[in-house]
Amino acid sequence: MEAVRGQDEAQLDRFEQMVETVAVPVRSRLPGALLVDFRKVAVRLGEVAPEMAASAEEGHEAATALFALADDGDEQSLRQVLRPDPVQADVAWTVACYRIGDLTPSELRDFSSAVDAVGGLRTCDDPSHVAAELVASTAEGIRWTAIFRTGEHATFQLVDPRTATRAAAGSGSQVAEAAEHWRQQLARWAEDPHVDLPVQELPLDLALAADLAATDTTEAMVGAVLQALVGLGQRLDAGRQDAEQLALRLERIEQRLDQLVARLDQPAPRRTAERTAPARSSRTTKGATTKAASSDPSAAGGEPKATTKRRRPASTPAADAG
């Protein structure tokens, strides 16, 4: 059963990415006001001494800005800022919940969506969980505690050796490189907090690229996605603990599909050029005209030609005698 559930979730992730690829064809966009607010306060947080950053008001303001992005459903903006290394887009998120006195998490929840991860940090299912952490992890082994919450007070923290660690098999310079990339990013935001926000950064795997290339039309792709979603829904267990989260994701996919269907329903431009009947062969026309002229002399504009009929001379007796 666990294997089936894992396959269902992987396929759901796959089709969600396919829908996003078609629904958002642009490569960059201007950041919204909420993202600009986060960038500005993140720049100020970068000016705070590292030993004071955990209790700085700028950290709380940055966390509040991230919560506003989650409320707005801005997945692309959250994916761009909630990554340990700004140049590595392949990130997963884990929310660790704690009870009073816990030294280890009472519950761990993994998320593939940044919006869902921030929502899971804000409200735990268990009211006894008085604290929580949102940890962003890369495939290269960096783990960064981006936001921590105590009660209702949340704080965002930048990447540094205090907030980020690496896996045992990782390179010792990974965290330092990630922190340097963050410093470069903050410098760009300090110059212009309105710089374009890259989108569609997650590389498509080869199988997904093949699926998209094999899709002849957008209608066909939408039909394939809907059919796959129906199959997934039929196999979902009613008692799954994450059913509500999956339902929210399905709802977002359905909204994207509605946008695609609305775009497909727009009338296509009509073709103005019409095919003309093929011209008759000049040879055939000429032949028919010649034939008609020969059969009807008056058709050529002249008078009928007079004909004389030669009469045979009468026979004479002499000729008969000869």
- Residue 30 has what pLDDT? 73
- Residue 295 has what pLDDT? 47
Q: Which tens digit of pLDDT belongs to each residue from 282-311? A: 444 444 444 444 444 444 444 444 444 455
Q: Which tens digit of pLDDT belongs to each residue from 178-190? A: 999 999 999 999 9
Residue 21's SS3 state is helix
Res 60 pLDDT > 60: yes
Residue 110's SS3 state is strand
Q: How confident is the model at residue 254 (pLDDT cuts 50, 70, 90)?
A: confident
- Residue 264 has what pLDDT? 78
78 closest CA partner among 45, 114, 33, 42: 114
Spans of all domains in the chain: 1-26+202-263, 29-199
Q: Concatenated DSSP letters for 115-175?
A: HHHHHHHH--SSTT--EEEEEEEETTSEEEEEEEEETTEEEE---STTTEEE-TTS-TTHH
Q: Are 143 and 167 in contact (CB under 8 A)?
A: yes
Q: Are 86 and 182 in contact (CB under 8 A)?
A: yes
- Residue 291 has what pLDDT? 46
228 closest CA partner among 203, 194, 254, 266: 254
Q: Which of 117-126, 194-203, 244-253 has the highest mean pLDDT?
A: 117-126
Structure tokens at 300: 């050529």
pTM score of the predicted model: 0.54
- Terminal C-alpha separation, the chain: 131
- Residue 276 has what pLDDT? 47
Q: How confident is the model at residue 235 (pLDDT cuts 50, 70, 90)?
A: low
Q: Distance of CA 69 to CAs 77, 125, 129, Å?
A: 7, 21, 24
